[in-house]
Chains A and B, each alone.
Chain A
C-alpha cells in the first residue's frame, strides 16, 4: 500500500534541497527510508511532502590527513566494508554492520540513523567514542556541532527546521609509541541480526605498554533518553590497568551514568545488568591487549 504523502520532491543539488526545506517547513527529508517509511506506514509520523536526498552526492567516505569524513547519505554496508573506517574506527564499522540485516544496511544511511535520533541508534555510541563532528547546512549557512550536542531526547535532535545533516567527521587519534588503540562495539538483543538493541556499548581506549588505559571513552545506547557517554566510568578507569578492582568500581560508576527504563524490549533492571556485563567484557578485552 502507498504511504500517505501528497508530494515527493527530488532535488539534484544541496542548494535546491535547502531552498525546498526553507520554503516548506513541513517537508521531511528522506534518505534510505528504513525508519521513515515504517513510521509513515504505521501513522506514527505524518508528512505531506518528502524531499528525496538520493541525488545530492552526499554519499561517500573520504580519508583526510586528520580524519575520516563520511557523507550523510553513505550506506551502512559501505561503512562496514570501508578499509579506513575498519582500521581507525572499528567500533563504527561493527555498528554499521549490525543495523538491521544486510538488505537494510544496503539502504540505511549514517545520516538517517543519527537524524532519527533513537536512543537505540547503533552508530551513535560508536560516533560518541570517536568524538565525531557533524556538519549541518541550511540556507542561513553551515554549522558544526559535536555528536554529543546532537542528541536532545528520544527522536529529537538538535537539527533545526530547514537544516540538513551533510557529513560526519571522525578525527584520527595520535597513538604514542608503544601504545595501541582498542575500540569495540557490542550490542545485546533477542537475535544477533535484525534486532533493535536492548543495550549497546562502544568503548575506545589507548592501551599503554604496561596495560594502563588512557583516553578512555565509553558510550551506551538504549539506556537513557539519548545515546550517552559514561563519563563517571571513564574517570574511574582512565590511567589505570583494568584489573578486577578497577572493573568493579567501573561497574558501580556505570549505575550513575545510565538511566534505563522498562519498555517492550527489556526491563530497566535487565538493561542495568546487561550494560554492566558489556562494560566488564570491554575492560577485560582491553586488559588482554
Chain B
C-alpha cells in the first residue's frame, strides 16, 4: 500500500522544488535596476491604501464556520460513497436522514442571513 503513496511524495517534492527553480531562474535572468516606484507594493496597479492587515467582517467567519461543519460532513459521506454498492437500502435511508439533519442547519443559517454577502 505504501508504494501507492510514493507518487504522492514525488508530487510534494516537485511542488516544493518547481517554484524554487522558477524564482531562481527569474532572479538570474532579470535585470536589476530598482527604483522606489518599482519597489512599492503592487495592488492591481493602483496606489496602495491603508495597512496590509485589516480586520475582517464577522460574516466571513460565519462562512468559515459553516464550511467546517460541511467539511466534517464529507468525512462521513466519503466511506458511505466508497461502500455504496455493497450497502443496503437501510444505509441509504440513514444517510438521507443524516444529510436532512444538516440541511436543517443550512436552512437555519440561510434564514438567519449568515450566507448574505456584505
Query: Are A and B bound to each other?
Result: no
